[in-house]
Amino acid sequence: MSRILLGVAGGIAAYKACELLRLFSESGDEVTVVPTRNALAFVGETTWAALSGRPVHTEVVESAHEVPHVRLGREADLVVVAPATADLLARAASGRADDLLTNVLLTARCPVLFAPAMHTEMWLHPATQANVATLRAHGCVVLDPAAGRLTGADTGPGRLPDPDDIHQVALSLVGDEATLAAVRRRDLAGRSVVISGGGTHEALDPVRFLGNASSGRQGIALARAAALRGARVTLVAANVSAAMPSSVEVERVVSTGDLGEAVRAHAQHADIIVMAAAPADFTPVTTSAGKIKKDGESGLTLELTQTMDVLKTISHERPREQVIVGFAAETAGSPEELLRLGREKLARKGCDLLVCNDVTGGAVFGGDRNDVVIIDREAVVATATADKNVVAHRILDAACGVLDQ
Ligand code: CTP
């Protein structure tokens, strides 16, 4: 359980902070809401109090004997400001303390996460960009807004990132110093990262396919983590239904053939490629144009042919110096066997790093956590048993290690 201080600034996206608050409550966290006066014009105090189950604080001078402007910041494990308006970012960057929320931002010693939302012009204005740079230099984590439809008819960067995305980032920043340090360093700024995630579908007929149990959540976590560290990220997503992180370019694919084509094209400009997808190894030799019918007597024999091994192909093509990371989902049964199978696979594929996990019993599929051993050609580089977001950062740490060699 973490103590989250949720600051809400005065923008129309304040209503989406209600959903964020609900997600924190569901993950067992205790949330105290500090809305600005303008935020209360969009969502009232009663709503925040009812959703958080706690008193709502707005004014510096209320309950002065409890010194809330100092206590609230000090007691929090994480401060999240969502939405962070242009005005709030400006006040925070210049260290003003003209309301309770900005007082909290000055007294907080925990990680501070801003999720901006504003019109595109305001976001792109040099003054706002300078304020974001200042806040990042102060160690705050400032998400890039999502692109898309804004209030009114305009579109562009400025939308509040999806509440689920903000929630996932927030969870990865609490209690994991290594992740917080990597995000603060923005050590992938200027880098191009390609991630594949999800499971491919190989069509048998217009309604049936051969598929697998991959949910794509580890791939999404990797894309989110790389974007947080400043990278330009492309996620090649095979049949993923979960919400995508903001500020990540998503290319949707269906089959292993599509996935191979997309990854190979994006690999031309990539510094890091992580193949977290589960591509089908076999595809039907023919796809029936009509729905396959049963005749009531005989079974069905499928003739399958092997698909492209995308990881092996890109590891051998390497159009530029790049770090290539593969995954090895094995039903190993023991850590020693997992390592042995991993070493063999890494040599066979020709990649630089391999993330090995034991999928005996199908435990990791669709879950929040993962349990991995990351190896290179010689040794175990890292192990991680954690939330998929934290595992994603350990994988990127290992990739950055190779990149810096
Ligand atoms: N992979 C790939 N193309 C395929 C199959 C797998 O690029 N056609 C990649 C996966 O994305 C993963 C790695 O190869 O990064 C290992 O996947 P895995 O399914 O464990 O290995 P396979 O090559 O299928 O080997 P096997 O099933 O024989 O263990």
Is 61 a member of any domain?
Answer: yes
Ligand 1 centroid – CA 109 distance (Å): 44
Question: Cβ distance 106 to 96 under 8 Å?
Answer: no
Which residues share a beta bridge with 284? Answer: 304
Q: Which two tokens stand for residue 100?
A: 């309770």
Question: Cβ distance 116 to 159 under 8 Å?
Answer: no
**pLDDT average, residue stretch 349-378:** 87
Indicate whether 168 and 193 sit together in one domain. no
Residue 53 has pLDDT above 80, yes or no: yes
Nearest to 79 by CA among 168, 141, 19, 164: 141
pLDDT in tens, 289-332: 999 998 888 899 999 999 999 999 999 999 999 999 999 989 88
What pLDDT does residue 210 have? 97
Is 181 a member of any domain?
Answer: no
Number of domains in the chain: 2
Residue 67 has pLDDT above 80, yes or no: no
Q: Which two tokens stand for residue 217?
A: 């959540």
Indicate whether 245 and 112 sit together in one domain. no
Last residue of a domain, one of 175, 198, 230: 175
CATH for 101: 3.40.50.1950
Proportion of the chain above pLDDT 90, given as a percent: 82
Indicate whether 54 and 147 sit together in one domain. yes
Indicate whether 153 and 67 sit together in one domain. yes
Sign, Cα dihedral of 98, 104, 110, 111: negative
Indicate whether 118 and 267 sit together in one domain. no
Last residue of a domain, one of 143, 175, 207: 175
Is 38 a member of any domain?
Answer: yes
Indicate whether 122 and 78 sit together in one domain. yes
Residue 68 has pLDDT above 90, yes or no: no
Indicate whether 106 and 216 sit together in one domain. no
Nearest to 383 by CA among 338, 331, 316: 338
Is 11 a member of any domain?
Answer: yes
Q: Which of 308, 309, 325 to mutate to test the pocket of ligand 1 (most atoms within 8 A of CB)?
A: 309
- Residues 6+ away with beta carbon under 8 Å from 380: 339, 373, 374
When mean pLDDT is compared across 31-35, 67-71, 136-140, 383-387, the lowest value belongs to 67-71
- Does the C-beta of 281 come closer than 6 Å to ligand 1? yes
Which residues share a beta bridge with 194? Answer: 234, 273
How many CA atoms within 13 Å lie on the side-chain side of 348? 10
Q: Whose CA is nearest to atom 9 of ligand 1?
A: 311
- Does the C-beta of 45 come closer than 6 Å to ligand 1? no
Instruction: State the SS3 of 97-144.
Output: CCCHHHHHHHHCCCCEEEEECCCHHHHHCHHHHHHHHHHHHCCCEECC
The pLDDT-based confidence of 66 (bands split at 50, 70, 90) is low
Closest ligand 1 atom, residue 313 Cα: 7
Nearest to 315 by CA among 356, 340, 345: 345
- Does the C-beta of 30 come closer than 6 Å to ligand 1? no
Indicate whether 357 and 225 sit together in one domain. yes
Indicate whether 169 and 205 sit together in one domain. no
- Does the C-beta of 195 come closer than 6 Å to ligand 1? no
Beta-strand relationship, 112-116 and 141-142: parallel
Better-scored residue on pLDDT, 145 or 70: 145
pLDDT in tens, 229-278: 999 999 999 999 998 998 899 999 999 999 999 999 999 999 999 999 99
Indicate whether 164 and 17 sit together in one domain. yes
What pLDDT does residue 73 have? 87
When mean pLDDT is compared across 45-49, 261-265, 320-324, 364-368, the lowest value belongs to 364-368
Nearest to 111 by CA among 168, 34, 183: 183
Is 351 a member of any domain?
Answer: yes
User: Average per-residue pLDDT in the chain?
Assistant: 93
Q: Which two tokens stand for residue 120?
A: 């595109």
Indicate whether 335 and 386 sit together in one domain. yes
Last residue of a domain, one of 148, 175, 202: 175
What pLDDT does residue 59 have? 80
Indicate whether 129 and 255 sit together in one domain. no
Residue 22 has pLDDT above 70, yes or no: yes
Closest ligand 1 atom, residue 278 Cα: 11
Ligand 1 centroid – CA 357 distance (Å): 13
- Does the C-beta of 315 come closer than 6 Å to ligand 1? no
Predicted TM-score (pTM) of this structure: 0.93
Angle at 155 between CA 151 and CA 160, to 5 degrees: 60
What pLDDT does residue 64 have? 61
Is 310 a member of any domain?
Answer: yes
Q: Which residues of 317-332 are buried (b: 16+ CB within 10 A; e: fewer)?
A: eeeeebbbbbbbbbeb
- Does the C-beta of 341 come closer than 6 Å to ligand 1? no
CATH for 337: 3.40.50.10300
What pLDDT does residue 156 have? 85
What pLDDT does residue 246 have? 83
Out of 212, 239, 357, 389, pick the active-site residue. 212
**Pseudo-torsion of CA 240, 245, 249, 253, nearest 10°?**
0
- For the question of residue 212 being annotated catalytic, the response is yes
* H or E segment and range at residue 250: strand 249-253
User: What is the SS3 assignment for 330?
Assistant: strand
Is 42 a member of any domain?
Answer: yes
Structural domain boundaries enclosing 159: 3-175
Is 180 a member of any domain?
Answer: no
What pLDDT does residue 147 have? 85
Residue 362 has pLDDT above 80, yes or no: no
pLDDT in tens, 131-164: 999 999 999 999 999 987 666 667 789 999 999 9
Q: Is the peptide bond before 83 cis (omega within 30 degrees of 0)?
A: yes
Residue 65 has pLDDT above 70, yes or no: no
